[in-house]
Amino acid sequence: MIFSDFGTKLNTHSGILQLMDDLGKPLPKGVPSYQLGGGNPARIPQVEKVYREEMEKLLSSKDGFENAVARYDAPVGRISFIEVLTEYLSKTYGWKITEKNIAVSNGSQSAFFYLFNLFSGTTTQNGVKTKKTILFPLVPEYVGYADQGVEADTFVSVPARCEYYDDNTFKYFIDFPAVEAYLAEHPEVGAMCVSRPTNPSGNVLTDVEIKKLSALAEKYRIPLMVDNAYGLPFPNIVFTDDAKPYWDKNVILSMSLSKIGLPALRTGIIIADEKIITAMSNINAIAALASGSLGQILAEPLVKTGRLVSMGEEFVRPFYEHKSRQMQDWIHEEFAGLPYGIHKSEGAIFLWLLLNDLKIPTLELYSKLKERGVITVPGEYFFFGLPKHTTHPHYNKCLRLNYSRNEDEVHQAVKIIADVYRQNMR
């Protein structure tokens, strides 16, 4: 059997495929498991109750259920959901958007697949072909992007600048001079992309940083993709107060219903220039006909009444903020006396742990932890797109830890990680 270049590229045994494969395999017999690996959000009872009530309303209304399941929505999304979102976002934030600025996708992951390939790869302008790239201005960045380009070598990145603090914490910053220099020297950059909050580090770019990136996007006439999967107004897993929702005509803002409790309903939302929305809709028609309706149907009344947003404020943010604080406390306790750092936890559902004196790569540490039942994600996968011979000092020294599991599981896992680190220090 011969696969096309497209097929081969997407089947290549990339780091993340290998990891996902590994995750699916059973742990050694009798070893309890501590699942700090994937990106599953927590189950929050107050949030689940709201969705259950919406579902019950749907089931008991005449025709409501049949209407929900028995027809395709438009490729751009469910029109009534888009109308409600448009009204909410334009009224609340004053964004100059209409229904033509919003598209719905089968999860934001698939929206990024469309977007990355709209703006990168071979591009013909006035009969001249260039190979466009996507620039990630702050790496480490979400591993789920790394293999989404259909053509090879179309993702490029700038390593994060880092500041270290006395309390065993550190924080990444965009190296703006390096990003500006890159853009000036590389006219082939077709778009920039950041996640805000950032998966894996929990960094949250400030309003000032986002506006600066948008100004660069305007200057170089390229879009800036802002992945708001953990951001505001929902799910609101943001613990800082200088990160307001931001959109302007240079920005492609991506949102998702996943981290507010509906990952299985695969609902992503893209807010962008009309031309981009039309392109997304056209690609969706070809690739999927339409996006799933159920997430949109459950969320529509909740957006309309403001309940989705208030649920984020009342339940989701406090829940994760508490979990994050708790895990940090346990790390500080169990790692006392060891060289380590935690990235400032400003949002998202992960802690990013730096093990300065680790003598093996985190890929190897990952296997040793797995033998003890602890599943994490090794840091190497998040450093994609760096120029050859360039690396980041944290490249093989960090672990991404999902802190949303139950207390006992997270606490035990932290103890084991400290123990295995002690055995593998320089």
Residues that bind ligand PLP (CB under 6 A): 39, 107-109, 142, 144, 195, 199, 227, 229, 256, 258, 263, 268
The DSSP code sequence of 299-365 is: HHHHHHHTHHHHHIIIIIHHHHHHHHHHHHHHHHHHTTTS--EEE---BSSEEEEE-TTBSS-HHHH
**Residue 291 CB, nearest approach to ligand PLP (Å):** 11
**Residue 33 CB, nearest approach to ligand PLP (Å):** 20
37 or 121: CB nearest ligand PLP:
37
* Phi-psi label, residue 63: left if phi above 0, alpha if psi -120 to 50, beta otherwise: left
229 or 358: CB nearest ligand PLP:
229
281 or 358: CB nearest ligand PLP:
281
CB-nearest residue to ligand PLP:
107
Q: Alpha-carbon distance 329 to 167, whole Å?
A: 12
Q: Which of 227, 230, 217 is nearest to 191 (CA)?
A: 217
Q: Which of 21, 23, 22 is nearest to 11 (CA)?
A: 21
Q: Which of 72, 106, 57 is nearest to 295 (CA)?
A: 106
247 or 421: CB nearest ligand PLP:
247
**Residue 66 CB, nearest approach to ligand PLP (Å):** 27
**Residue 337 CB, nearest approach to ligand PLP (Å):** 33
**Residue 141 CB, nearest approach to ligand PLP (Å):** 8
**Residue 130 CB, nearest approach to ligand PLP (Å):** 28
86 or 203: CB nearest ligand PLP:
203
Q: Which helix (H) or strand (E) holds 377?
A: strand 377-378
75 or 107: CB nearest ligand PLP:
107
CB atoms within 10 A of CB 34: 25
Instruction: Name the residue type at position 248.
Output: D
159 or 292: CB nearest ligand PLP:
292
**Residue 259 CB, nearest approach to ligand PLP (Å):** 7
Q: Alpha-carbon distance 316 to 311, whole Å?
A: 7
Asked if 191 contacts 137 with a C-beta cutoff of 8 angstroms, the reply is no
- Which residue in this structure is represented by tokens 């805000």? 196
Tell me the backbone φ, ψ of residue 290, rounded to 5 degrees.
-155, 170
**Residue 287 CB, nearest approach to ligand PLP (Å):** 14
330 or 404: CB nearest ligand PLP:
404
